[in-house]
Chain A
Amino acid sequence: MRARRRVVTLRETRPAAPRRPTIARRTASAPASGVERVPIAGPPVIRADTPVDLSIELGRGLVLPNPVLVASGTFGYGVEYGEVVEVERLGGICCKGTTLRPRIGNVTPRVTETPGGMLNSIGLQNPGVDAVVDRYTATWAGWRVPVIVNVAGESVSDYVEVVSRLDGVPGVAGIELNISCPNVGKGGMQFAIDADAAGSVTAAVRRMTDLPLLVKLSPNVADVRPIARAIADAGADALTAVNTLSGIAVAPSRTRPLLGNVYGGVSGPAIKPIALRVVYEVAQVVDIPIVGIGGVTELADVLDFLAVGAVAVQVGTAIFADPTLPVRLVDELTGACRARGLDSHRPLIGTALPRRTGASSAKGAEYRP
């Protein structure tokens, strides 16, 4: 066995974060609704300089220094924004989707703005896993921010091979499986829309590696819960949700679709309600940590994702307009915890979930007008 690098929590003074996030239950004194959940029983006892511990464990020793990550495909390999962003203050970096062989990606145009968001069809352009290991992992190994490599493939063996080349490489803190890719072995049907395929690719990668394993859910499914369960049962350490929603735009000439690839993925504030719904549903059927993604642009969005059961969030599209947003959200979340008299953000997790997780999920969650 090769020695594996572990990311160690920055705050040795505190006991390690619990493997499973504790879901805060409503108490009799807490308000039943509303976004502000300041405890009313007694004044906050936390002083302005009291440290707030935002660290969170995603499993297998992957401890994020804080719960604000940057989303795959929107932050390159962590180096592109240079001095504009203090990368070392991020909770984690998910790098661009990485495949076995280099990919040149889709024809242009690849991006366009849409109401409250954008469409992209990059087509997984990347230099291939070997080049990623060569060019970037040495830099990552020198950072205290964990870098999670987003992995894509066209077959189970592709995924396993890519992960095997990342396994044990210093600088690689974890794997995020992008399963929103066509499965060549199954007639091009995406892994992410089929519980069996999602489960088997997760299981195969799990057998290959002891690296922390995150699997990214697609929102383009009728019911995400059986898929999430299959992935959790197959041994994933955490789930990330969601990837982009399938969409198209029309060229100004109205003679063809705008994107070179016709189809693209919608991201940004427009998809936040959908992402929240997915996290809300998944949180009630799995007990591994969930990282919420989709339209985070301000602190309120972070708090919303935490409330529906996410232990952390990823910021994607919003970085393009405001590259300093993720780091600012870390500071704002610290402030929000202090204002509520909390020394960690963990009590904010799951506060909007139904009281008895699991059993009560039939009401409301099923209702789709």
Chain B
Amino acid sequence: MRLLGAELVESREILPGQFIQALHAPHLATGSRAGQFVHVRTGDLSGLVLRRPFSINTADPSSGTVTVHFRTVGRGTEWLTRLRPGDPVDVLGPLGRPFEVDARSRHLLLIAGGLGIAGVRMLVDEAIRDGRQVTLLFGAASARDVYPSSLLPDEVEYVVATDDGSLGHGGYVTELVPQYEAWADQGFACGPAPMLAALSRLAATRRQRLGVAKLGRKRGAGRPDQPGSAAARRKAFLQVSMEQNMGCAVGACLGCVVMGASGTPLRVCREGPVFAAEELDWEAGW
């Protein structure tokens, strides 16, 4: 984690109201992993007093750039869209804990709902670089909001669901999951809370339903891993990237918690944003 003076390289509206911005920040480009995020300062202190958290969408060490992907939802994101190439951007990062892929996992199932694509996008690149097979299930309200396939590497199998049936499967993206469950060694998801809750219910019953063995003998056996530990995530079938309103993004203010399975709130910015699905209490409602 560092405070970085980044520079805006490019800003592109990829979908109506959705932007991808490239920032020159070599420390982030080389030092971050899929699932981590940055906390970006917007505007001046008297007006906008909080930074905005964004998943690191992609990282390119050769050019020293990272990208973030966001929708304009308020004054902070609108302020960002007014930046021009060359403008300085104050970035705190990389923050939070990344996705952990088990070394033995060959087939990765990624599930993204809407802007949740930004949370798993970098994992696509990492997994393909490491020679794994990736299927990305993407859900949106309608064809208008579907992430352009041109922004994804060719190697990924990209399957789309839209609520109104205007493109791909008509219905929720979670309805596609059963077809891939047996194939997948691990799943990684980011999106609206109800989607993640539905996926966690699927993951919890997966072994019984499919009758599949766990990867390796020791997996899941013995003492439970510490919440937030890399091992807890690596052993999980499903890892989720959570979102929450944030203040500090470094673990100091306790503004960003989600309820952990053990009854202790966990900080999205510190123990997360990536959690093993079973580390969280999906019934608590927060």
Q: Tell whether A118 pairs with B258 under 8 Å between CB atoms, given A74-B248, A111-B246, A324-B3.
A: no
Is B252 close to A, CB under 8 A? yes
Interface string of B244-286 (1 = CB under 8 A from A): 1111111111111110000111000010000000000000011
Stretch in contact with the other chain, from A16-24, A49-57, A100-108, A182-190? A100-108
Is B211 close to A, CB under 8 A? no
| B interface majority secondary structure | loop
Q: Tell whether A122 pairs with B45 under 8 Å between CB atoms, given A104-B265, A113-B50.
A: no
Q: How far is the CA of A96 from the CA of B265 in the complex (A)?
A: 16
A residues near B264, Cβ cutoff 8 Å = 104
Q: How many of chain A's residues touch chain B, expressed as a range?
A: 35 or more
B residues near A116, Cβ cutoff 8 Å = 46-47, 49
Q: Which of B1, B45, B46, B265 touches A82 (beta carbons < 8 Å)? A: B1
Is the pair A113, B45 in contact by a Cβ cutoff of 8 Å? no
Stretch in contact with the other chain, from A208-216, A236-244, A314-322, A353-361? A314-322
Q: Which of B41, B50, B250 touches A81 (beta carbons < 8 Å)? A: B250
Is A39 close to B, CB under 8 A? no
Residue of A nearest to B250 (CB): A80
Is the pair B255, A269 in contact by a Cβ cutoff of 8 Å? no
B52 to chain A, nearest CB (A): 9
Is A305 close to B, CB under 8 A? no
Is B92 close to A, CB under 8 A? yes
| A interface majority secondary structure | loop
Is A120 close to B, CB under 8 A? yes
Q: Which residues of B213-270 are within 8 A (CB) of A?
A: 244-258, 263-265, 270
Q: Tell whether A84 pairs with B254 under 8 Å between CB atoms, given A111-B246, A112-B245.
A: no
Q: Which of A108, A320, A324 touches B253 (beta carbons < 8 Å)? A: A320
Is the pair A111, B250 in contact by a Cβ cutoff of 8 Å? no
Is A170 close to B, CB under 8 A? no
Q: Tell whether A323 pairs with B3 under 8 Å between CB atoms, given A117-B49, A269-B46, A317-B49.
A: yes
A residues near B69, Cβ cutoff 8 Å = none
B residues near A118, Cβ cutoff 8 Å = 49-50, 247
Q: How far is the CA of A116 from the CA of B286 in the complex (A)?
A: 27
B residues near A80, Cβ cutoff 8 Å = 248, 250-252, 270
Is A347 close to B, CB under 8 A? no
Is B97 close to A, CB under 8 A? no
Show the binding face of B for A, using Cβ within 8 Å.
Answer: 1-3, 41, 45-51, 76, 92, 244-258, 263-265, 270, 285-286
Show the binding face of A for B, using Cβ within 8 Å.
Answer: 73-76, 80-84, 96, 104-105, 107-113, 115-118, 120, 122, 125, 260, 268-269, 297-298, 317-324
